[in-house]
Structure 1
Amino acid sequence: GYDLYISSGGPGSPLESEGSDWENHYFGWLESVIGWNNECTEEQKKHIFFICHSFQLACRYFRIGNVCKRKSTAFGVFPIHMLEEGKQEPVFDGLTDPFYSVDSRDYQVIEPDHAQLINMGAHILAIEKNRPHVPYERAIMAIRFNDHFIGTQFHPEADATGMHMYLLREDKKQTVIENHGEAKWQSMVEQLQDPGKILLTYQKVLPNFLNLAMGEPALTHP
């Protein structure tokens, strides 16, 4: 077996897979890791990082929020706001508040079940930006499920340089403009070049997770 797992994003619906063989296998794997961690020593425990689609599935598995379809697709570079627990989270060490991430999703996790969170010892680490002019609940952007499992709605693996080159390709540029407008394309290209945004998230979140999972101290502020 492996010492740690990074469970990636979609494509796919976190709702339509309910009851499917694929989802049953996925939840079976998750149960097996939980079972292993319950039986072994601290040094042997396995760590999991859930990203986007996997994060939504984990929230369904643990029954800690309402996984639902968004009114409109979230696509672009967005600020992520830390809650108090997020400011103490070693995986977020070295980030600003807010920090920035790439988000691309049709689904979200809202309406957290606080009783279940307390029962699990889980904590919401971050939420999406405040939108007082819109009557929608803010989506959960990161959860510490337990000492060994953490998940994010956003994409910490998004590589700013690679994404920048990708968006400059004429076919991808046209796809983004057709679906989201030229202003969105221009905004993403500009923000991907900002070293304090996507690049910082890329340099901190998953490296911090890997260091913690391997028993190394989290990287401190540069």
Structure 2
Amino acid sequence: MTDRNKIKVAIIDMNNGVTNQGIRGIQEVLLRYQEEMDIILTYDLFNLRQKGEVPNLTYDIYISSGGPGSPYDGEGQKWENDFFNLLEDIESFNLKNEHKKKHAFLICHSFQMACRKFGVGKVIKRRSTSFGIFPVFLTEEGENDTIFNGLPNPLYTVDSRAWQVTNPDDLPYAVKNIKVLALEKDRPHVDLERCVMSVRFTKEIVGTQFHPEASPARMKAHLLWKDKKKAIIKNYGQDKYNDMLHSLDDPKRIALTQHLVLPNFLNEAINTLQEASYD
């Protein structure tokens, strides 16, 4: 193995101490990717929101998780400033280095915060919480973006959010080539803006509103818990519950999303690193 096969990843935990499956899902993707690609990939976990742990710029790749609550919860707090400063540092590093680049993937809560920072659309509270497995529709830019290579349009994703990003066309930042890659289903009978589901903020920083790390097996086990099953049926109905189980069993839905989105991102990042190592 050469140095170009040794990849350092920083996982940023934004769950604020709340029990979740997201971090384990990210770790599962990284471990499987390392085995399949036969590379040395190490990762460190940083509990940014709860403990103020911040990765430095010695990492090649950054993956920041979802989390509970409002994307405005950190306003005026050190942890939010640290997160925004990290994104600025990554962007600044990439601007100063022609070949070697650092890449970041931002999920759900982290994605919403990044939309605030980069000025993408409006980050607003939903009328009701979205929870389940839904189709996500790629824009023309999304169909041509490497992170969605091999995925159908629409692709199916796990979505859990009380907040959302809307009005992506109202972008004073558009001059900096931000690209909206995916949107939620168009609902012409509902007088609501379509939610933004994925954005490429810079060439190296990309994010999704949905959870590409979600494990079908782990999520199915979660849904089969008696209390969880009862709560979902009560809040969303038996048909919705049955449809979620069907989507988890379908290899062309959540399993495909988990096997391709983050691995595509890792391919993109690592290919860039390997190309730089030859220069």
TM-score normalised by structure 1 residue count: 0.92
* 3-state SS in 1 of match to 2:271: coil
Count, aligned residues: 215
Q: 2:208 aligns with which of 152, 174, 178?
A: 152
Amino acid at match of 2:227: D
Give the aligned CA root-mean-square deviation in angstroms: 1.4
1:193 to 241, 246, 249: 249
The Cα shift of 1:159 comes to 0.8
Task: State which of 99, 103, 116 in structure 2 corresponds to 1:47.
Answer: 103
Aligned residue number for residue 29 of structure 1: 86
The amino acid that maps onto 1:25 is D
Q: Please state if 1:203 is matched with 2:259.
A: yes
Aligned to 2:95: 38
Matches within 5 A, 1:129-168: 129-168=185-224
| TM-aligned CA deviation for residue 177 of structure 1 | 2.6
Within the candidate set 60, 63, 69, 2:125 is matched to 69
Question: Are the equivalent residues in 2 in contact too, given 1:7–1:50 (CA < 8 A)?
Answer: yes
Indicate the larger mover: 137-146 or 12-21.
Answer: 12-21
- CA distance in 1 between counterparts of 2:105 and 2:218 reads 22
Q: Percentage identity across aligned positions?
A: 50
For structure 1, the 5+ residue unaligned runs are 217-222
Q: Which range is displaced more, 10-19 or 130-139?
A: 10-19
Structure 2 residue matching 1:91: 3-state secondary structure: helix
What TM-score do the two structures reach when normalised by structure 2?
0.74
- Distance in 1 (CA, whole Å) between partners of 2:83 and 2:200 is 19
Q: In 2, Cα distance between the equivalents of 1:6 and 1:83? A: 23
**1:110 corresponds to which of 152, 166, 174:** 166
Q: CA-to-partner distance for each residue in 1:156-179, whole Å, 9 max, x for gaps?
A: 001111111111121322232333
Deviation at 1:114, TM superposition (A): 4.7
Runs (5+) with no aligned partner, structure 2: 1-57, 273-279
Give the secondary structure class of the aligned counterpart of 1:162: helix
Aligned match for 1:10, one of 62, 67, 77: 67
